[in-house]
Structure 1
């Protein structure tokens, strides 16, 4: 796998500086996240050298620890560790970095950093703020300056975070990671000014935290007998036992390690679904009584906790009692997502609970939805009695929301917006911006196996957690978080690859005020941070150094044709780019990109590469295929794309560019309700054809399209095409129709082609009806439910 993970390594692109080149190196404040205010002066810089000390007020143990951290950070870069010294009240020391507190600083996590030729002063309202000032100084210093003095510019920084909640999540259930790596992960959070570690500890595939009252949870529930090979529900397994768990003492060690870095650990025990590992250990807590097994596969499963069984509810309260003893955090995450109701609907105990509690269905919610709300509310009340509050995924909005719940919005931002408008506090974790298990490049052929999706660095950076909210509603947005689910992430190196450098983009979303954010400026600052990743041996992704290509279309009629695809290429460092249009490998002898865009007016195979002295970037490839529908006006009559997957709308279907098997790249548009009908105006070569006069109209004899089939993502293909034509866009006559078999393989992932050929006909308007798959097949986890339909080009020949 790691060969694939490193496919984009560029030898020396962020090569560390030669330590013997000079005795003095320069620092700057172009760090990530960008501070709110940086003001440089014309004074002489401060020279950080072996003789510098770091001071703190005597008796302040937290600032002493901050000073020791800063000394260690400087040693990592320079090889020497400044001496840490306690100062008595009124005592001063020159040639020092002084840490202190200042009650006049407004924000709890705010700090000031003042540099003169005589020293540096980092003050915070709290020790937390001083810690973030230390991080800024750490990141201002060159990553590798062994033995060198560091010239630090004179000036003032005034800084505080935009959001109080700045989180990262790690799933250790699908794949388990050792204690030392969890600490490394926490160190990465500290580097990026994050203050919350969301630790996902229980799921269908493994129970990872010791609960002393229920020892079988780890004796049985922490170990699965085998693991699926490849994609979910592939039907192939490795037949190798897999497991692991953290003792309560180890978990407390993680809590302490995080606290020392001003990071709160929020545990997640997901309930009442995602509980197969617990049911395998204690089958009487399920509706059927089992037998159950710790799941060897990924997905959503019907078997959930039996809410009608009082013994189950007591189990949950007992587990939460021990969780609150391990984790002192104000919040406990109790999940609430992806809990099918089918077992409850047939379970006598659950139906009795529904009757006893008077849980009623209405137009929006079933009685079983209310049963889930009963469960969540009851656990919330129990945790409230322990002085804690709950967080739940946005599915907890599907019913009666637990009164004081904080909502973690993952299915886009709509759940968070709804919750904020209802007065609930919200943490934004929308999957289209913040799911770091999604691919970070649209060209996935050389990427390690992944769950799908597409979230590049720029997409992460573009998130505004308070968009679409009034100022009053925005106050309920506590902050933002990215999630790393590990179904397809089995190694620590792969974890690093998926979170870095996207974590840097998220850090600026969480910390920096939106008016200060600028993606182009961010990319100029990013290589400096990546030098730290490289120095510390992180397996970070390098896609940011590849050519970023943007494709637009023009539809105006010219002598050369009806329009063009314009390819605009850029690199973060303006490295020279070379390209070909015939599919051959580009070299320095190929056409050099001049920065004004490449207008493509006929079918072509674009290949482009950035060539630096240190090496070549990955070659980007894009095929452009012209047909009679390309760039023509198109209208969708009836069913419209789902807002989440509308991208550029109907024009996507006639832009000359087909998609790969990743439905989230923007080359496809997705539909969830009804068949798709598109009307395309083919025009005429002379532009003067009229109704009843077909002399100037184009002749057509074939129509085709493509669809993504990704059954694990509930995306099925096309089941029929019908083609009709018209001269006036009013009266259409059918010329051909063809049915295609519905997909029955629940494991299939592919791009399928659908075409229909007919007797040649002349027409200005062509109407294409694309029939969707009406329901997911028998045996699929979503059997009977409506799947998505994703289509790209409509080809008319």
Structure 2
């Protein structure tokens, strides 16, 4: 069946009419039925060239790929649950359901929106790339009908602990788009650095952007850089959501503007773990002038995002009342500027409304943190354990207030865990020994797909409670682009499968679909971890 090469798994597939395959070559025309799809077709042709080297140059009379707008036949797939980061209605402009028909005479791709057609053409990209032999891809006759389980399907990328340049972020956007993820959540600020230009606060980039984790170099995205990234993502139907983390994780901001430090704390105290240093005090007027300047400088750089992520996590050492006061006032400032709020799950300890998205990440029992004793300072460990105990009530509290939950359980969707599978490449096993947060148990590839978003997450009882699904990659151990890509691939497709596909994933079937993707990664020049649990194809340079 044609669909065995596709990740995420399609909702419905059946054999097409006739037994003869369609032969896709560089001479296959790709024809848009309306001007609204011209840019979508152009994107497909360019991506296919980068995936395979093929660049369709149509010959008269050749069988064609025809793309059109239409909703016929897609009703067998339900409307996506959750919310979209761009605010589009899932049953209107944000409808991503689509269909493909493959016969010996041609291919047709259709859906009710340009984005839906783009998703269908992404499936076709995978089929061509994985079936290509020489200069021809033989595609079996089939009819595919597909659509996502959840509307928000994302990746949170840490650009603070390791600064990733524009080209690297574009590569990550390409990976997201290939696996039908539609959100890139950029973690732009933290204790180790400030990565986005705010014109009214130049010291944030003059001072706060210096350095990163360890001895790695710093950097930041200029207004032009961010405009370019936002446009690049938009062409691929990916929405960039910015995160400005506060009131905790604010050491870089305080280094830039020492007057933001809490009373009695000097800037030299806000390094390292920042147990009580990297905090913004809600009782200080100059803190709120700073927050307003930041919001006014950052929000216009993300015109397509309906949301701003305010962090709200790990405000270690901050009184609960001060944390709640800060989150509530910051959220009010965001709403007053016409945006909605996302926060890590600790933000639910404040009064959240039904339009707020609460991002669940803590699935570590407080008792498990005891294993860290002796490895981290006891004062910090005690604060951490208190936070883990409080976290048990975060999701129920958010749900009781009508908020939806963005699911990022760390045990399943934190991609910075050490690899649990050996690599077939001995050199990668040497990298594996240092790559991934050592406080987390190693995770195997199958662990990323052998679970269910609702059934296996505490307190979640139905898709209706879920805003979406988002993986995360934190970069404390990442020293280069190569390291980053070795954590993302081949894990990211599994995260995308759980966000997109409603049906359970059988590991033995999935690993064959995953293996087929390696030829595409190789052609793209992406680094990937060659886990020995998958029978990867023999690839030639």
What is the TM-score with the length of structure 2 in the denominator?
Answer: 0.82
Give, in whole Å, the separation in 1 of the partners of 2:55 and 2:232: 21
Report whether the alignment pairs 1:54 with 2:30.
yes
Counterpart position of 2:339: 388
Greater relative contact order: 1 or 2 (C-alpha under 8 angstroms, separation 6 or more)?
A: 2
Which of the pair is proportionally richer in strand? 1
Q: CA deviation at 1:125?
A: 1.2
Please name the residue that 1:494 is paired with. 483
Deviation at residue 405 of structure 1 after TM alignment:
2.2
- Structure 1 residue corresponding to 2:243, chosen from 238, 261, 268: 268
Q: Quick one: distance in 2 between partners of 1:74 and 1:473?
A: 37
* Mapped partners of 2:463, 2:415: distance in 1: 25
- CA shift, 1:101, in A, is 0.6
Structure 2: distance between partners of 1:470 and 1:223: 41
From the superposition, tell whether residues 245 and 493 of structure 1 become closer, same or farther in structure 2 (CA, over 3 Å): same
Matched, 1:214 2:193: no
Asked whether the equivalents of residues 45 and 117 of structure 1 are also in contact (C-alpha less than 8 Å), the reply is yes
Asked if the contact 2:27–2:62 (Cα under 8 Å) also holds between the matched residues in 1, the reply is no
| Alpha-carbon distance in 2 for matches of 1:275, 1:465 | 32
Shift of 1:531: 1.9
SS of residue in 1 equivalent to 2:67:
strand
Q: Is the 8 A contact 2:119 2:180 kept in 1?
A: yes
2:469 equivalent in structure 1 = 480
1:512 and 2:501 are equivalent in the alignment: yes
Instruction: From the two aligned structures, give the one with the greater helix fraction.
Output: 2
- Residue in structure 2 matched with residue 197 of structure 1 by the alignment: 184
Distance 1:331 1:447 in 2: 37
Residue 42 to residue 101, structure 1, CA distance change in 2 (3 Å): closer
Indicate the residue corresponding to 1:341 in structure 2: 317
Q: State yes or no: 1:331 paired with 2:307.
A: yes
Unaligned ranges ≥5, structure 2: 80-94, 365-391, 423-428
Describe the SS at the equivalent of 1:38.
Answer: strand
Question: Aligned partners of 1:175, 1:191: CA distance in 2, in Å?
Answer: 24
Give a deviation string over 1:527-584, Cα, whole Å, max 9, x none: 10122112222221112x25xxxxxxxxxxxxxxxxxxxxxxxxx45x9xxxxxxxxx
Return the alpha-carbon distance in structure 2 between the equivalents of residues 386 and 218 of structure 1: 24
Counterpart of 1:450 in structure 2 is 436
Kept after mapping to 1: 8 A contact 2:131/2:137: no
Alpha-carbon distance in 2 for matches of 1:531, 1:613: 9
Q: Deviations over 1:115-162 (max 9, x none)?
A: 111110000111111111111111112448475222211120000011
Contact conserved, 1:377 with 1:402, CA < 8 A, in 2?
Answer: no
SS at match of 1:520: helix
1:340 shift after superposition: 2.3
Structure 1 unaligned runs (5+)?
1-25, 86-91, 229-237, 343-367, 547-571, 576-611, 615-797
Residue by residue over 1:160-188, the C-alpha shift from the partner in whole angstroms, topping out at 9 and shown as x without a partner, is 01110100011111110110111011000
Q: Say if 1:78 and 1:333 are closer, same or farther in 2 by CA, change over 3 A.
A: closer
Partner of 2:513: 525
**Cα RMSD after superposing both structures:** 2.8
- Paired residues of 1:172 and 1:486 also in contact (CA < 8 A): yes
Separation (CA, whole Å) in 2 of partners of 1:411 and 1:311: 32
Which of 390, 398, 408 is residue 429 of structure 1 equivalent to?
408
Partners in 1 of 2:266 and 2:352 — Cα distance? 32
Question: Alignment length, in residue pairs?
Answer: 480
Q: Distance in 1 between matches of 2:325 and 2:123?
A: 46
Bigger radius of gyration among the two:
1
Q: CA deviation at 1:71?
A: 1.8
* TM-score, length of structure 1 as denominator length: 0.57
The answer for the alignment partner of 1:379 in structure 2 is: 330
Structure-to-structure mapping, 1:100-499, within 5 angstroms: 100-104=68-72, 105-106=74-75, 107=79, 108-143=95-130, 145=132, 148-224=135-211, 228=214, 242-288=217-263, 290-293=265-268, 297=272, 300-328=275-303, 329-342=305-318, 368-401=319-352, 404-412=355-363, 415-416=394-395, 418-441=397-420, 447-452=433-438, 453=440, 454-467=442-455, 473-499=462-488
Q: Check 1:93–1:390 CA distance in 2 against 1; reply closer, same or farther (3 A cut).
A: farther
